[in-house]
Amino acid sequence: MKRRTLLGASPLLLAPTLLHAQSYPVKPIRYIVPVAAGGGSDMVGRTVTERWGKALGQTFVVDNQGGGGGVIASQNTAKAAPDGYTLMQGYVATHGTSPATRKLPYDPIKDFTPIGMIGGTPNVLVVNAAIPAKDVKEFVAYLRANLGKVSYGSAGAGSLTHLTMELFKQQIDSFMVHIPYRGVAPAFTDLIGGQTQAMFPGLAAALPHIRSGRVRALAVTGAQRHPQLKDTPTLDELGYKGFDAMQWYGVVGPAQMPAAIVKQLNDTLNAVLKAPDMREKLSIEAIEPMPMSADAFGKFMREDIARWTRLAKDRNIQLDS
């Protein structure tokens, strides 16, 4: 009798993770977005989780936690129970550029479980419309003829807009003065006004100004041309290597989440991203869906951090946390 009871109970004792995954999710999932409500990153999170929740049969509750460049949200996510009920929309700042340039109170790799990539948008090299350069070659020639007279804006020191331009400066072996701003909007104001002459913003932020003719697009990052800027070459096409950098968004959870739950989340996220209408929805922010496995996403993050860490070291960019 005792033997039969033990044998009958053994699956419960030996496979709690499997049973947990089979019943997951049984309550709403908190989805932390590390920026204030209303911006592009928030839109991405709400668009994806609305459809993702239907795939999982459970509601996502978006929790906007801005502040500290994503530090607050990252800390709260890392400290949460690894049960699949707290996830975060990690992105290039929280798991790419900030770890490369700042001392952070969290480890971007050890403190998190990679769930999956959402997608990315390239950065685009733009210049003020008055600059007499119609392509990258002419712009490089202009820089060398005006050393010390050309400045570029960024969304802030250590931001992707800053580091991408520093990578460009390194490759062309030329100089521009860096003017950091508190966000990309004021940086664009001064670029359009002629106070600065160039910038490397994300494509979504740049498109309205490119289409209005107030700035000129010279090249984009990424492995291939972007559908919304088909006539603009990639830097790789032009012979500049290492510019597969982009503004990306993905999903992470606390460290040591059960593998079965991670797989369930990854499978359903990828199914959502592969829907044709999801590409159309994300195109508002010029984002191309990039479904991949959780392991591949973890590798992607490690490589992105390594890329920007090398550049920050080479360019002596180290900022206070």
In the chain, what are the domain boundaries?
A: 2-120+248-314, 124-229
Mean pLDDT of 26-41: 95
What topology is assigned to 2-120+248-314 in CATH? Answer: D-Maltodextrin-Binding Protein; domain 2 (3.40.190)
Q: Provide the CA 278 distance to its chain's centre, in angstroms.
A: 18
pLDDT in tens, 179-206: 999 999 999 999 999 999 999 999 999 9
pLDDT in tens, 222-275: 989 999 999 999 999 999 998 988 999 999 999 999 999 999 999 999 999 999
Residue 122, token pair as written in the block? 């390239």
**CATH topology match: 2-120+248-314 vs 124-229:** yes
Q: What is the 3-state secondary structure (H, E, C) of 37-77?
A: CCCHHHHHHHHHHHHHHHHHCCCEEEEECCCHHHHHHHHHH
No. of H helices and E strands in the chain?
12, 11
- Whether the pLDDT of residue 283 is over 60: the answer is yes
- pLDDT confidence of residue 14: 36
* Residues 305, 297, 218, 173, CA torsion sign: positive
Contact (CB, 8 A) for 159 and 151: no
Banded pLDDT at 68 (limits 50, 70, 90): confident
Q: Which CATH class is domain 124-229?
A: alpha beta
Residue 122 host element (H or E): strand 112-122
Q: What is the pTM of this model?
A: 0.89
